[in-house]
Amino acid sequence: MAVGIFDSGLGGLTVLDAVSRRLPEIPFVYYGDNAHAPYGVRDAEDVYELTTRGVERLWKAGCDLVILACNTASAAALRRMQESWVPAEKRVLGVFVPLIEALTERQWGDNSPPREVAIRHVALFATPATVASRAFQRELAFRAIGVDVEAQACGGVVDAIEEGDMILAEALVRSHVDALKRKMPDPQAAVLGCTHYPLMEEVFQDALGPQVKVFSQADIVAESLADYLQRHPRMRGPGDEAMYLTTGDPGRVSDRATQFLRRRIEFVAA
């Protein structure tokens, strides 16, 4: 009954932590492609090849359902994977759709036509690759009309977080928020479109101001996954062991992950 969580590095641990708390009965297998992180500066073909390789490893671990916790992978690779690569008996889901469903106040899985929503001005903070893909805007257009999205590519933030340099990460976040505000002075909502960014959520909120509602992915994805598994219980895979897999150095990644989650995490080689 295992479920896979894929990420380019450590950011997906924010999602893993949330889904583990929401669904404690399910063993989760985490795959971090730390050897190739960050994905946000890679081209779409490279992201696709790396993502499919990681998802295949999670399938081998008994995960018929895999969540792409990496926003860049969700933006650059997911649609192509779903259309031409994922077998009928498997599922690969991204993190954009649950976020957009929450933003537009839709029920999980609501595929009704797009409609007007309360929030009209949205700031999107994401990696350069995610911003370039325009995947967020595309998915939003399926569900809402009349929403203005201003995207800010947050170069350097993921690298700083992966290296544990939170002082640099905070400085970069504030700089990117300032740049966004020059383009959209009064956003109503802000979307943290990278699973690393919840670690800096308080900084984003402080820089944006209390009047801006900040949408962070981890808890939203956890609720969406719980709903999905209730509707599709057969997608709980045959795996029965929780694991942490990495393409990087297991010792170094374990130490960084332990700092992230503030509990000991032991990674093994993927």
166 or 1, greater pLDDT = 166
| Sole residue written with tokens 């690759």 | 129
Query: Does the pLDDT of residue 108 top 80, yes or no?
Result: no
Query: Does the pLDDT of residue 122 top 90, yes or no?
Result: yes
- Residue spans of the domains in the chain: they are 3-96+218-269, 104-216
Omega within 30 of 0 (cis) for the link into 38: yes
Indicate the class that CATH gives domain 104-216.
alpha beta
Cα–Cα distance measured from residue 128 to residue 152, given in angstroms and rounded to the nearest whole number: 8
Query: Does the pLDDT of residue 41 top 90, yes or no?
Result: no
Q: What is the pLDDT of residue 237?
A: 86
Do the domains 3-96+218-269 and 104-216 sit in the same CATH topology, yes or no?
yes
Query: Does the pLDDT of residue 163 top 90, yes or no?
Result: no
Q: What is the pLDDT of residue 177?
A: 98
* Alpha-carbon radius of gyration of the chain: 17
Q: What is the pLDDT of residue 168?
A: 97
Query: Does the pLDDT of residue 184 top 90, yes or no?
Result: yes
Element (H, E) at 124: strand 121-126
Kind of pairing between the strands at 3-7 and 65-68: parallel
* Average pLDDT rounded to a whole number, residues 212-224: 93
* Average pLDDT rounded to a whole number, residues 44-54: 97
| All residues at 6 or more sequence positions from 196 whose CB lies less than 8 Å from its CB, including other chains | 9, 10, 11, 14, 157, 158, 161, 162
pLDDT over 90, % of the chain: 84
Q: What does the DSSP 8-state code read for residue 251? A: H
Query: Does the pLDDT of residue 20 top 80, yes or no?
Result: yes
Indicate the class that CATH gives domain 3-96+218-269.
alpha beta
DSSP notation for 72-109: HHHHHTHHHHHHHTS-TT-EEE-SHHHHHHHHTTPPTT
Confidence of residue 162 (pLDDT cuts 50, 70, 90): confident
Catalytic residues: 70, 194
Q: What is the pLDDT of residue 164?
A: 84
Quote the Cα angle for 40-45-49, to 5°: 95
- 3-state SS class at 153: strand
* Average pLDDT rounded to a whole number, residues 247-252: 96
Cα–Cα distance measured from residue 40 to residue 14, given in angstroms and rounded to the nearest whole number: 17
pLDDT over 70, % of the chain: 100
